[in-house]
Amino acid sequence: MKSVELMVFDFDGTLVDTGKDLVNSVNHTLKQLSLAILPEKKIISFIGDGVQKLIERSLGQSFPGCFEEAMEIFDKYYTEHLLDSTKLYPGIKEVLRHFDEKRKIIITNKRHHFTVQITDALHITNYFDEIVGADSRPYRKPDSRLVETFIEKYRVPQGKTIVVGDGINDVLLAKNAGVISCAFLNGLGSREDLLSLNPDYTCEEMNDLIKLFY
């Protein structure tokens, strides 16, 4: 087992299964614009770089012409439906309680207000020291400054800092910051893409963290 002091968690596809609500919101947006809806797996593959990239990729050849209108439609619909199907992954509260004495941060490319709306509703906000969204900083994952700031603030060693996530941006964030990477292989991200980056650790279920770290 490896000792850690600071735990950085991704959000979508790591702590919370938000896939269905994001897919429905994208396809609602496309329908409103009289564009063809997309398969669920296709939209899931677009998640991870923030909502603007999600919409840009979903629009395809209709970008950038429909982009502003699409963002307005998506924002309105997702605000009202972001908790229709969204739920915590199994074992999340057990993991957060187990590591109660560790510093824990969410760093996500999702916008801050959407993230907090979900963490509040699912009663996990209080487990985290800070929540950093895509609009919280002028830079986003995998920019190493996102982690370096907290290493300095909390005075923890790089070797006792871990980034846990289901996306390539999470593994790259850890590598860029010189900290431990742990890829969650059953989230929204591509298992093959994650493994190709040779993360330091992998987990099939989130509560595997309890066996890997202390």
Distances (CA, A) of 156 to 6, 133, 161, 171, 209: 7, 22, 7, 19, 19
> What confidence score (pLDDT) does residue 173 get?
98
Which pTM does this prediction carry?
0.95
Asked if 188 and 167 count as a contact pair (C-beta separation under 8 A), the reply is yes
Q: What pLDDT, in 10s, does the model give residues 77-127?
A: 999 999 999 999 999 999 999 999 999 999 999 999 999 999 999 999 999
| pLDDT digits 0-9 by tens, 5-64 | 999 999 999 999 999 999 999 999 999 999 999 999 999 999 999 999 999 999 999 999
Burial of 122 (0-12, 13-18, 19+ CB in 10 A): middle
Q: Where are the CATH 1.10.150.240 domain residues in the chain?
A: 19-81
Q: In this predicted model, what pLDDT tens digit does every residue of 119-156 receive, in sequence order?
A: 999 999 999 999 999 999 999 999 999 999 999 999 99
Q: What is the residue whose two structure tokens read 């996990």?
A: 124
Q: What is the CATH number of domain 19-81?
A: 1.10.150.240
Tokens of 132: 């950093």
Helices (H) and strands (E) in the chain, counts: 10, 8
Which residues make up the CATH 3.40.50.1000 domain(s) of the chain?
Answer: 6-17+86-212
CATH number of 6-17+86-212: 3.40.50.1000
